[in-house]
Amino acid sequence: MLPLWTGNEAGRLVRIGIFGGTFDPIHVGHLAAAVNAKAGAHLDKVLMVVANIPWQKEGLRKVQPASERLALVEAAVSGVEGLEASDIEIQRGGKSYTIDTVLEIKKLFPDDDLFLIIGADVAYELDTWDRVDDLADLVTLVIVNRPGSVRPDNLGERWNYLEVEVPSLDISSTDLRARAIEGRPLDYLIPSAAIRYIREHNLYGPRET
């Protein structure tokens, strides 16, 4: 039986947004981008897909365990209509390649339309992604603006894409990790339920670096 979230009303194609990230930690920049991409691209759902091993970041810095990052995303989206935390990459294990995630979702729901949400900064990295031509055949990109990055104007022929204007929030996980280490406030930059989880589980503190 199909999970409820693929419910197809009156034969209409279901439009699924896939928003991948390390989410180390998730912040309101991600969440505002997700809900506004959902509205702007008329998506039915946005799956917040937590990377198991983000191969781009591997070896560069310590990344919190995937289970903790997933718990933060779950806390952050709890009660928010249409946003779901997804552990699909954690279940698969190993390095997380978006193409594998998209193929898995496509196999489960072949009739659904898949949209891959990315910030303008990530649009520059697409050429380095694994099996990028296959990916381009399977998804429409939804590119959201992000302070500090102007999306490339030479995305190439291969992508179908649309752009969605989202609130410009100059927030990054990198800055939040620095804030946590230095004891500066996280409040209002991360949903309070996720901050509670960070405190209870002693994540991102000085001893965590």
Binding site for ligand ATP (CB under 6 A): 21-24, 29-30, 33, 118-119, 121-122, 144, 146, 169, 171-174
Task: Give the residue closest to ligand ATP by C-beta.
Answer: 119
Q: Find the shortest distance in angstroms from Cβ 192 to ligand ATP.
A: 18
Q: Find the shortest distance in angstroms from Cβ 58 to ligand ATP.
A: 13
* Residue closer to ligand ATP (CB basis): 9 or 153: 153
* Residue closer to ligand ATP (CB basis): 73 or 105: 73
Q: 188 with 166: CB under 8 angstroms?
A: no
Which two structure tokens, joined as six digits, stand for 173? 């996980």
* Residue closer to ligand ATP (CB basis): 6 or 124: 124
Q: Find the shortest distance in angstroms from Cβ 29 to ligand ATP.
A: 2
Helices (H), the chain: 28-40, 66-77, 88-92, 98-108, 120-123, 132-138, 173-182, 192-200
Q: Find the shortest distance in angstroms from Cβ 197 to ligand ATP.
A: 17
| SS3 per-residue string spanning 55-102 | CCCCCCCCCCCHHHHHHHHHHHHCCCCCEEEECHHHHHCCECCHHHHH
